[in-house]
Structure 1
């Protein structure tokens, strides 16, 4: 949590803790030289001599705000200092190195992420790094996870419980969910790597994931591009989630083809009996709460009343079914040009996917998949 905004701390030349103070000899030397340089002007002489004899620039602290700082394996104290200075945590790399050399435990600073503040005293930074009290843990979430799967991972790997996350999910405003999410975080917990700290709460963790989605959405101009396609942001996110679930191992080009199949089926106006039915296995799996590579008629019929059963219900499901990455969102925003209405992943090992325009072509692809399954029954 960030501290209250404060006025920038003054830079103190040679500022250190009292226990690390220096003797009076440099001061006597400064006074003697200043007396002999009167023609330079008192102010100018003091400034120049302070730079020469005052030591490294340092902030008095305690600092403000929140800065995430990463220590890489093999980093020297000098490299850490340079990185800290670049982030505005310390006034100078030299001040950090000097403070670290006075701390015997500085050789044991562990790699990882640390939460610090802007404009800290160098000695305070060293104390936090060697203590490890503000060291965070990095978590990586793969694309295509549902909210339930993400919560399960977080409850397993953090000190927080599933109940904590479920309670946080009931307050969409606290999570920063956009209005188009309609109160559900499904699809809006953006995949990627995050650093969580000891005092992170379920709300702060989920809020960070939603904020990352918002940043990615803004970078892609999601709202405007969705409107240009004639769809709402929620509808495009729903399509992106299906593209992710169906084509997570595919290239961007093939994901754009899957998006085109979805749009073609949604916009189909011919008397074809399948017009308007997406017939996407991933949505049925979402309704089942499973991930079945090849659905049976019985499985499809078992969730016949679910709005996520796109074999039985026309149009888009009510919302996203998983968390899509940027590639899948972009594919939904920029579908390929083509008149495909079908696709089949004919090889589950390589994820090779082929596209068809007619029912006859689709039947040929299904036969190819049947042949694959006949020799790879453990995958089908």
Structure 2
């Protein structure tokens, strides 16, 4: 039986089902205050321990006496602030509180230079001791791998396999699916030349895919710094061709001579008549075609190798890079020196002294100079 009059509709009841309102023995306002007091009291009783724990973990300045126990790996990520780092340390129970950690960081002037990466710390360390570990780059847990300029993909993979905990097959598996490497479209799925030479610090969780991706990303940075794509358009070449030129410059030159060598390469490609007929005649391309060290001196028979990389037989640029160029070679390819040179000869292999000319007879004179040098320095030739 329903009562016509004031009432309330509890959740879940249909519109037609009003329940009879029971009169409260306490006035409405007093009843509400009593109920509120009960709720607040319950929260206080049940929450004091939680609040206290949060203050211990996130604030309040609590600190462990140290020296700590066990081991925990902590990652400092790119963009982390001191507060971010301290929150990570508190969450891993390395430090007792964020406040104590921040105070320790503020007291250590080197804390602004904490490097990205992984660190081995202990649980329940004194905050100042934890910060001392983080400010020392020697404590970074990483595989440091240096990739020199001028190496092929095969040579780079050999170094990675030697310096990390992964075998060659693991890197070859990644390279079999080059679409995962984020190569530029103009690389046509070939990573040759795009694994940038540099020193890398790979964390303990880094995979072969992540390592190779990091190298391609570093190449992209260098290419952007050199203005590779803009320079290619200005010079009348494609970005892929500019990368090929950069790899040839890396193979042939050094230091301040690189922009001149880049100019010689462009001049020879663009000179379709005598005396070069558009032939680069670069020994390093022969060695690449023969899959051997790029510093070997080809024999007369080697010059007849049937390969699109044989620049003694095929005019113009080879199909792609023959090795990984570094910053200097990329900059040289993008910004060649001004000159009409068509030839160059390194006349002193010890100092790297290289002479340039546009005259073929002068070129022959420079070659004789090199031969005289080799006659007295046979161990260098």
> What runs of 5+ residues in structure 2 fail to find an aligned partner?
1-49, 64-73, 88-97, 106-113
Distance 1:56 1:188, change over 3 A: farther
Q: Distance in 2 between matches of 1:336 and 1:234?
A: 20
Distance 1:55 1:206, change over 3 A: same
Distance 1:17 1:188, change over 3 A: farther
Count residues in correspondence: 295
Shift, 1:359, TM fit:
1.1
Moved more, 351-360 or 286-295: 286-295
What secondary structure does 2:183 align onto? coil
Shift, 1:97, TM fit:
6.4
2:277 — aligned with what? 275
Shift, 1:314, TM fit:
0.9
Distance 1:154 1:87, change over 3 A: farther
Distance 1:98 1:274, change over 3 A: closer
Cα deviation 1:190-211 (Å, max 9, x = unaligned): 1111111222111110000001
Q: Distance in 2 between matches of 1:334 and 1:196?
A: 33
Distance 1:87 1:225, change over 3 A: farther
Aligned partners of 2:193 and 2:243 also within 8 Å: yes
Cα deviation 1:236-283 (Å, max 9, x = unaligned): 000000001111xx223x1110000000011114x3153110011111
Distance 1:362 1:163, change over 3 A: same
Q: Distance in 1 between matches of 2:285 and 2:377?
A: 24
Distance 1:212 1:122, change over 3 A: farther
Q: Distance in 2 between matches of 1:287 and 1:16?
A: 70
Distance 1:357 1:167, change over 3 A: same
Residue from 182, 195, 201 that aligns with 1:195: 201
1:34 — aligned with what? none
What secondary structure does 1:296 align onto? coil
Aligned partners of 2:279 and 2:313 also within 8 Å: yes
Q: Distance in 2 between matches of 1:373 and 1:212?
A: 39
Aligned partners of 1:354 and 1:365 also within 8 Å: yes
Shift, 1:141, TM fit:
1.2
Max Rg structure: 2
Residue from 86, 89, 107 that aligns with 2:85: 89
Residue from 168, 172, 179 that aligns with 2:178: 172
Q: Distance in 1 between matches of 2:99 and 2:282?
A: 56
Distance 1:360 1:268, change over 3 A: same
Shift, 1:225, TM fit:
1.6
Cα deviation 1:204-245 (Å, max 9, x = unaligned): 100000011112212222112211111000000000000011
Q: TM-score, normalised by structure 2?
A: 0.68
Shift, 1:142, TM fit:
1.2
1:287 — aligned with what? 289
Map residues 4-153 of structure 1 onto 2, 5 A cutoff: 21=56, 54-55=60-61, 67=77, 85=81, 88-90=84-86, 94-95=100-101, 114-115=117-118, 126=130, 135-153=141-159
> What runs of 5+ residues in structure 1 fail to find an aligned partner?
1-14, 23-50, 58-63, 70-83, 100-110
Distance 1:273 1:134, change over 3 A: closer
Q: Distance in 2 between matches of 1:370 and 1:142?
A: 29
Map residues 197-346 of structure 1 onto 2, 5 A cutoff: 197-247=203-253, 250-252=254-256, 254-269=257-272, 271-272=273-274, 274-288=276-290, 289-301=292-304, 303=305, 305-346=306-347
What secondary structure does 1:89 align onto? helix
What secondary structure does 2:171 align onto? helix
Aligned partners of 1:343 and 1:354 also within 8 Å: yes
Aligned partners of 2:347 and 2:354 also within 8 Å: yes
Shift, 1:21, TM fit:
4.4
Cα deviation 1:162-200 (Å, max 9, x = unaligned): 111111111122111111111111110111111112221
What secondary structure does 1:343 align onto? strand
Cα deviation 1:48-105 (Å, max 9, x = unaligned): xxx9xx4389xxxxxx996169xxxxxxxxxxxxxx7559423678515659xxxxxx
